[in-house]
Structure formats: structure tokens, C-alpha cells
Structure 1
Amino acid sequence: MKKSDRTKAYIIEKVAPIFNKKGVYGTSLSDMTDVTGLTKGAIYGNFASKDALAMACFEYNLRFLQKGLYKSIAINGSAIDKLGALVNFYQQHYGDVAENGGCPLMNSAIETDDAHPLLRDKVQTTFSLWRKEITSIVVESQRKMEINPLADPSRFSNTFIAMLEGGILVAKTMDSPEYFNEVTNSLLTFIQSNLEIKNHA
């Protein structure tokens, strides 16, 4: 890795948690220079603008959550097993998510507006891809006749994401992991009740 690439990676690693906690607006130049130990010139010599750095930090912050998604997709089993594994991943690592400032996807979605069109578009695209992945898990499992064929994959995916993200928001706001456990336990029940094959007498 070239020195310039190492410097960029270092800046992203140090600044990403600050952006996630304070947002693009709330993060000052002094925040960035303090946490990196670099000058303004060194930071903007590697990133054309604050928005460019924010985009790189957003992608960096997402990697941990994407890891959980792809691990759950890779396991053997039905959609119930895969999505249950994803919820369990979040339950096990909620402390890490909270310490890093909460879910970067949700934080960026709340903050982005016309002032940050590139980041807004990136957030929208990421949400769409996440929804597509979950929908695909459900559709594939229905194709294999592993789960309820009458479940609506699109509606299910929307509710799944809303419950998971909402659980993080409430728990982070109230500074109480118990809220997250309550919501995610309800989410596990939601998965089971909507996707399990109904046996009619």
C-alpha cells in the first residue's frame, strides 16, 4: 500500500466514528485535526472536500453492519434461520454499534438533505440494496417451499428494517440496551409468525 493510501485509510479510520456521532454538520475541522493529529492541509490534501471524506467514512462505518448481513445470508437454512441469525448478530454487537454512535445508515438518513445530495443518494441506494437482499432471502426460501408462500416479501422487508433500525434508535436515545433487546425479541417473533408454514387442521 502506498503512503498516500495509508494516510487516507488512517484519516478515515480516525474520523469515521466522529462523523457517525456528530454528523457531517456537527463535525468541525478541529475535531478532525485533533483526532488524526494532522493539519487541515494534510486532510484536504487527501480528500477534495468534507463531503468526499464523509462519503468515505460512511462506507467505512457500514462495513461492520454489512458483515453481519452477508454472514447471515451465507448460513445454511431457510429465511427464518438467516434472518434470525442477522437479528442475533445485532443483539450480540449492539454495544459496538452504540459505542460507535449508532447505526451509520440511520444517522446519515436523518441528517442528509439537499446540502449533501451525494451522501443522501448513497444512503437511499444502501437502504434499497438492504431491502433487496432481505426480499431476495424471503423469495428464495419461498421458492424452495421452506416458508409460508403467502408472506409478502416486500412488506416483510420494510417492516423488518423498520423494527431493527427503530430498535437501535430508541435504545440509543434512551441509553438502554434493554429497549433494543425488547424490540429485537419482538422482531424474532415477527419473523417466525410471518414466515413459518401454517399448518391447518
Structure 2
Amino acid sequence: MITRKYFILSLLHIGIFQTTNEPASKLNKMLDWTHTYHAEMEKKPGCPIGNLAIEMSEHDETFRVRIHHFFERWIGAVEATLDEMIKHGQLDSTIDTKKSAQAMIAMIEGGILLMKTQQSIHFLSNIIDVIRKQFNLS
């Protein structure tokens, strides 16, 4: 089951970023999917990959490497999308897209963690709102 969730999440994120949509649309789709995925669950179990990262990374090197790979691919896709936004004049050209992509994913995962501990989608909703404003996605 864990491997299947990992595979499904990977496909969804890859699929979103491999479209020919405008870069802002890609990021909005990612944020919409993330919010919907968690909002539709009655209980808030958190992110399957984030949960694995917390539980397994220090105990099993194989899991840690797979989880690392998942996050690196996600961050890389967001970074490339932010680069596209700069090329289209939608973001300031001085932005560090790698750091910004890392921060965006950290904000999402942190929002999911707070959502899980508080059992309230509002934490994730607020984080997504901040990301949309910060990156001109509204």
C-alpha cells in the first residue's frame, strides 16, 4: 500500500508538470490537487510521503533514498516551473528559483503536518493562500 501511494503521488505530480499549460496554471493545479486530496479525507492522516520521511528516513537507507528522490523530483519540477514564470515575465528575475521551490515544498509539507496534528484543513488552506500570493498565482 505504501509503495502504491508513493507511485500514485509521483505520477500525479509528474503529470501536472509535464503538461503544456502555462507555468502559473501548473503550480495552481498542484496546489489545487494537494488541497483537494487532503480536504476530501474525513480524517487527516497527512502526506503519505511526508509520513514515510518522518518515520523511516533515519531507520532505513533504501526508504530514505526513495523519499529523497521523490522530493528532489518535486522540487526540481517546481523550480523549472518558476524558471518558466521568470521567462514569461510573471516573476522577478532576481528570485532564486531553487531556494523558492524548496521553500514552497517545505511550506506545503509543514502545512500538511500542522493539518494532521490539528485535524483541520485550515492550516493547509492558509499555507496554499500564502504561496499563491507570494508567487502571483491568484
Equivalence for 2:81: 137
Residue 161 of structure 1: CA displacement?
Answer: 0.2
2:71 to 115, 127, 149: 127
Letter in 1 for 2:69: T
Q: Mark the runs of 5 or more structure 1 residues left unpaired by the alignment.
A: 1-15, 17-56, 196-201
TM-score by length of 1: 0.59
Letter in 2 for 1:76: N
1:22-33 correspondence to structure 2 within 5 Å? none
Bigger-Rg structure (1/2): 1
Q: Which digits, 9 at most, give the CA deviation of each residue in 1:80-129, with x for residues without a partner? A: 22212211111222135675832121111111244311111111121111
Equivalence for 2:21: 76
Letter in 2 for 1:186: V
In the alignment of these two chains, the number of paired residues is: 137
Contact 1:138/1:153 (CA < 8 Å) preserved in 2?
yes
Contact 2:91/2:135 (CA < 8 Å) preserved in 1?
no
Contact 1:160/1:187 (CA < 8 Å) preserved in 2?
yes
Aligned equivalents of 1:154 and 1:172: distance in 2?
Answer: 27
Give 1 or 2: higher helix fraction. Answer: 1
Q: Which digits, 9 at most, give the CA deviation of each residue in 1:151-179, with x for residues without a partner? A: 21111101110111111110111011122
- Percent identity (aligned): 21
Equivalence for 1:90: 34
Asked if residue 190 in structure 1 is aligned to residue 134 in structure 2, the reply is yes
Q: Mark the runs of 5 or more structure 2 residues left unpaired by the alignment.
A: none
Aligned equivalents of 2:55 and 2:104: distance in 1?
Answer: 22
Equivalence for 2:59: 115
Equivalence for 1:174: 118
Residue 149 of structure 1: CA displacement?
Answer: 1.8
Residue 151 of structure 1 aligns to a residue in which SS?
Answer: coil
User: Which structure would you say has the larger RCO, counting Cα contacts within 8 Å and 6 or more residues apart?
Assistant: 2
TM-score by length of 2: 0.83
Letter in 2 for 1:124: H
Residue 71 of structure 1: CA displacement?
Answer: 4.0
Q: Is the alpha carbon distance of 1:71 and 1:164 closer, same or farther for their aligned partners in structure 2, counting shifts above 3 Å?
A: same
Residue 95 of structure 2 aligns to a residue in which SS?
Answer: coil
Letter in 2 for 1:84: N
